[in-house]
């Protein structure tokens, strides 16, 4: 009898944990739905001068457009960098106001983080839908709930550069190219960082150098680079969190 109770408690706990960490509702995009050779470069935690500006120089050199998930507090600090991103045709996304571990916070707080940052982005003249990515990709129950309530999608990614653990350009380039080229499906969303949460002095030279090499290599392989909105507008299928 006791073993049955233990089993039941174990099962119920697993279901609750699963429901919290991988809520089976709402939309979570991990990859662009396409049969073409396209990829989306995404950068989190900026704007973070001078690195973001150096990165924008590299993207301009290759005529590649990317998507930047910005931290609200940093938008307030570096409005000129945001204006440059927009002027050069990049897409702006929301990455909360001050980068908390959103997945463990109450829904009202999650919503405030999102809406406060939306307002800051809108002040830069953005009128279209704003994409959202939770810090550390913590799309847990409170985040999924608020996004569903606001009828919004979470943007994850399928190629993690791990550039938050190393700034060695060789390693970042190798990680990204290996995952992107070995993927049997097209439309990878590549996750990189031009900033580092609240640390304004974080060096991002490795990510910038790696971006130069990644673009060169993928272009040689026939890949094109898109912003997230380029493909979503043209019919991209959202994927459930289970694909994450
Ligand atoms: Zn982040």
CA of 22 to the centre of ligand 1 (A): 19
Q: Ligand 1 centroid vs 200 CA: distance in angstroms?
A: 13
Q: Which CATH number fits domain 2-243: 3.40.50.2300, 3.30.160.60, 3.20.20.370, 3.30.1950.10?
A: 3.20.20.370
Distance between terminal CA atoms of the chain? 38
Active site residue 163: no
Burial class (CB in 10 A: 0-12, 13-18, 19+), 221: exposed
45 catalytic residue (yes or no): no
Q: How far is the CA of 3 from the centre of ligand 1 (A)?
A: 43
> Is residue 1 over pLDDT 80?
no
Q: Are strands 38-46 and 28-29 parallel, antiparallel or unpaired?
A: unpaired
* pLDDT, tens only, 103-143: 899 999 999 999 999 999 999 999 999 999 999 989 999 99
pTM reported for the whole predicted model: 0.91
- pLDDT tens digits for 13-65? 999 999 899 998 899 999 998 888 999 999 999 999 999 999 999 999 999 99
Structure tokens belonging to residue 165: 């653990």
Residues 6 or more apart whose Cβ sits within 8 Å of residue 72: 94, 96, 97, 98, 113, 116, 117, 120
Task: Choose the catalytic residue: 44, 45, 158, 194.
Answer: 44
């Amino acid at each position: 009898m006791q073993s049955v109770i233990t089993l039941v408690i174990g099962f119920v706990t697993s279901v609750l944990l699963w429901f919290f960490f991988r809520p089976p509702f709402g939309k979570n995009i991990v990859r662009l739905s396409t049969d073409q050779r396209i990829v989306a470069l995404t950068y989190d935690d900026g704007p973070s001068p001078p690195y973001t500006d150096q990165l924008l120089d590299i993207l301009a050199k290759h005529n590649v457009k990317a998507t930047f998930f910005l931290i609200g507090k940093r938008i307030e600090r570096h409005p000129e960098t945001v204006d440059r991103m927009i002027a050069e045709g990049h897409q702006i996304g929301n990455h909360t106001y001050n980068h908390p571990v959103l997945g463990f916070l109450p829904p009202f707080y999650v919503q405030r983080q999102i809406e406060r940052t939306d307002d800051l982005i809108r002040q830069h003249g953005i009128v279209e839908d704003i994409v959202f990515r939770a810090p550390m990709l913590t799309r847990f129950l409170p985040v999924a709930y608020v996004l569903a309530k606001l009828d919004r999608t979470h943007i994850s990614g399928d190629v993690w550069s791990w550039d938050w653990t190393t700034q060695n350009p060789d390693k970042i380039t190798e990680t990204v190219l290996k995952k992107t080229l070995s993927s049997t499906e097209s439309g990878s969303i590549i996750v990189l960082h031009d900033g580092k949460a609240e640390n304004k002095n974080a060096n991002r030279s490795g990510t910038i150098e790696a971006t130069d090499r990644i673009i060169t290599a993928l272009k040689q392989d026939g890949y094109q680079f898109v912003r997230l909105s380029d493909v979503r507008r043209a019919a991209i299928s959202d994927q459930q969190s289970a694909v994450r």
